[in-house]
Amino acid sequence: MARRRVPRAAALALLLASATACASDVPKADWSRGLLPEHVTTQGDAIQSLWNGAWIAALATGAVVIVLIVWACIFHVKRRARAELPPQVRYNLPIEIFYTLVPLVMVSVFFFFTARDSRDLEHLSANPDVKVKVEAFQWSWRFTTTTNGKTLPQVVGQPVSDYHQGPQLVLPVGKKVQFELESPDVIHSFWVPAFLFKRDVIPGIPANNKGRYFEITTLNKPGVYAGRCAELCGVDHSRMLFSVKLVPQAEYDQYVSAQAGSPQ
């Protein structure tokens, strides 16, 4: 018995160590955010509150159900001494109306908040401050940024094992950024955990299809954030890493003028 425990403990330790190693390249999740990573967009505020609300509603429902089950188990056991069944409730109209209406109300509340937030998350503004065309290919990314009418030289990456070595997308804080997603080969998925948002990059979607686009407004949280492909897309899928660097506006202006001066 004791002999078995040792390898199990070792395996568990290894699992924990590898789990933390994997988690080190994404913002740390903590309980106060319901285990979501810290977000860097205003859209993330809406996603975080939808997440919190859904968990609170689900846990409250779960608590009521578990209390009822435990209560029924304790107080409605068929005792040996009196073998008769407890009162059988059938065709009880008030109860049937109750358990039809309550789930309908619950689903409607979930639906309302989800539909409202999805509409906001899908919103595209007419004049975003920065436009980024994201091309996902086997197995890296090409970013083409347009801001103030200037198109910057493309940032092209290659498969890497650390997101710091991957292509870097530089963005200003406090600005509206619109992404356009395109794939020349297979389905990929553009995922920056700190956006609390991910969207599949599907080849062949026409340019006028809204599914190609999404928009964020960056919060004032300068830093470097990990990004990755989140759709298994071939042998080097796991090395399809990149980073997003959020910088203050002055630093972004410098970056843009330095880039605009360099050859295309």
The distance of closest approach from Cβ of residue 2 to Cu ion in the complex, given in angstroms and rounded to an integer, is 46
How many residues contact Cu ion, by CB under 5 A? 4
Of 36 and 201, CB closest to Cu ion:
201
Q: Which stretch binds Cu ion (CB under 5 A): 86-94, 102-110, 169-177, 228-236?
A: 228-236
Distances (CA, A) of 124 to 78, 116, 179, 205: 61, 15, 10, 17
Selected from 39, 188, 199, 212, the binder of Cu ion by CB under 5 A is 188
Phi then psi for 92, rounded to 5 degrees?
Answer: -95, 105
The DSSP H or E segment spanning 42 is helix 42-75
Selected from 47, 233, 241, 247, the binder of Cu ion by CB under 5 A is 233
Indicate the angle between helix axes 93-122 and 42-75, nearest 10 degrees: 160
The distance of closest approach from Cβ of residue 229 to Cu ion in the complex, given in angstroms and rounded to an integer, is 3
Phi then psi for 240, rounded to 5 degrees?
Answer: -90, 70
Of 198 and 221, CB closest to Cu ion:
198
Selected from 47, 134, 240, 241, the binder of Cu ion by CB under 5 A is 240
The distance of closest approach from Cβ of residue 202 to Cu ion in the complex, given in angstroms and rounded to an integer, is 11
Of 54 and 187, CB closest to Cu ion:
187
Q: Which stretch binds Cu ion (CB under 5 A): 5-13, 35-43, 212-220, 224-232?
A: 224-232
Residue 229 near Cu ion by CB under 5 A: yes
Of 190 and 195, CB closest to Cu ion:
190
Distances (CA, A) of 141 to 25, 71, 92, 118, 257: 18, 56, 61, 26, 23
The distance of closest approach from Cβ of residue 166 to Cu ion in the complex, given in angstroms and rounded to an integer, is 12
Residue 39 near Cu ion by CB under 5 A: no
Q: Which stretch binds Cu ion (CB under 5 A): 16-24, 77-85, 108-116, 240-248?
A: 240-248
Q: Which residues bind Cu ion (CB under 5 A)?
A: 188, 229, 233, 240
